[in-house]
Amino acid sequence: MKILVTGGAGFIGSNFIYYMQKAHPDYSLVCLDKLTYAGNLETLEEALKNPLFKFVKGDIADREFVFSLFEEEKFDIVVNFAAESHVDRSIENPGVFLTTNILGTQTLMDAARATGVKRYHQVSTDEVYGDLPLDRPDLFFTETTPIHTSSPYSASKASADLLVQAYHRTFGLPITISRCSNNYGPYHFPEKLIPLMIANALNDKPLPVYGQGLNVRDWLYVEDHCRAIDMIIHNGRVGEVYNIGGHNEKANIDVVKTIIKALGKSEDLITYVTDRAGHDMRYAIDPTKIHDELGWLPTTTFDEGIQKTIDWYLNNRAWWEKIISGEYQNYYEKMYGNR
Ligand code: NAD
Ligand code: TDX
């Protein structure tokens, strides 16, 4: 079995590569990644020691390059993680989100069709469903909830999903789509809420909470997401969408306070800043389908997962300190300097 993992030098893709190397030690894995600001080859240092793993640098939207890679490698399965993934960046600069997230997906699917790939899996997000009100805790996203996007990021992911479904209906491409809630865990880029708050708290820097911190996210430990995708690519029904989430809803301010407490820091570090434009209020996944059809359930509770994540950031300071001392500093200044 040979699997192409695109975006494998990023947060979830790299965790998926490590997960698959353990779960299926006889599989060949190829990682295709452009190494944008979010991609980091150091993350794959251990994976690269395995002779059944190969890294290829390239852009999923580069048609000529993608087609020659697919013709050469003859992949059985493609799992597409490659994307521009940060909502705040999509508000600053939407263009690259459309190129990578939509046209990149189209390019991969064209190459998959041309070379007879047996399964094309699209890694999508719960953000395609828009948001839910805070005063209706009885409401959850199911696979039939209408697509209703808020940010250029979520609009680009939803566009890609529609294209993936169209390639199935029109060309018979054997696809599956997963829509997961917010992930957290090792190798999470420190522009995202949890790693940003851990890094800032450790450096005694202000903790920038958007608006009043009341927005709710449904947190899932990254390994549980990886296991769900493994189940879907092997046993999921072709043409289907699967929601992934572990009923772990938390208000942002509570997540921030949990991190502060675990690190023994002061809540005085919390700084309320200007809200994100178009900020989604609440995400909450109903994972009944993946549970009933594939037997998936999350195995890591939030209390365990957040402690494991904090420990990872404490034990791997070099990994994130290198990131926040480089080009990322300019981003931070631009995003938070006048907020
Ligand atoms: P990430 O930003 O950490 O990683 C993205 C990776 O894709 C990086 O390694 C980057 O170099 C690579 N990449 C970007 N553009 C590329 C291109 N044109 N060609 C090749 N590689 C390119 O993102 P992540 O958080 O790991 O998210 C992975 C996927 O999961 C995304 O599709 C995202 O939409 C989805 N998702 C993320 C979450 C979450 O909480 N992080 C939740 C649900 C779904
Ligand atoms: O500094 C911050 N302060 C803050 O209050 C940051 C970076 C975020 N926030 C808030 C905004 C959100 O309500 O925290 C929440 C989480 O923000 P992000 O980490 O940026 O994640 P989110 O916007 O929810 O999107 C994430 O989950 C769905 C991923 O980045 C997406 O790729 C995924 O599809």
Domain boundaries, the chain: 2-184+222-248+279-301+329-336
pLDDT for residue 140: 98
Q: Look at residue 163 and tell me whether its pLDDT is greater than 90.
A: yes
Please name which of 280, 259, 285, 278 lies closest in space to residue 215, comparing C-alpha atoms.
280
Phi then psi dihedrals of residue 57, to 5 deg: -90, 125
* Other residues' Cβ atoms within 10 Å of the Cβ of residue 307: 13
Residue with tokens 């018979």: 172
pLDDT tens per residue, range 234-254? 999 999 999 999 999 999 999
pLDDT for residue 335: 86
336 is catalytic: no
Mean pLDDT of all residues in the chain? 97
292 is catalytic: no
Region 88-92: what's the mean pLDDT?
98
Nearest ligand to the C-alpha atom of residue 323: 1
Give the model's confidence band at 327: pLDDT under 50 very low, under 70 low, under 90 confident, else very high. confident
Distances (CA, A) of 190 to 51, 69, 112: 30, 31, 33
Centre of ligand 2 from the C-alpha of residue 193, in Å: 5
Q: In whole angstroms, give the CA distance from residue 90 to residue 156.
A: 9
pTM of the model: 0.98
Nearest ligand to the C-alpha atom of residue 16: 1
Give the CATH number of domain 2-184+222-248+279-301+329-336; options: 3.40.50.10470, 3.40.50.620, 3.40.50.720, 3.30.530.20.
3.40.50.720
Region 28-49: what's the mean pLDDT?
97
Query: Which of the following is catalytic: 59, 127, 249, 280?
Result: 127
Q: In whole angstroms, give the CA distance from residue 304 to residue 163.
A: 37
131 is catalytic: no
Residue 127, ligand 2, Cβ within 6 A: yes
pLDDT for residue 26: 98
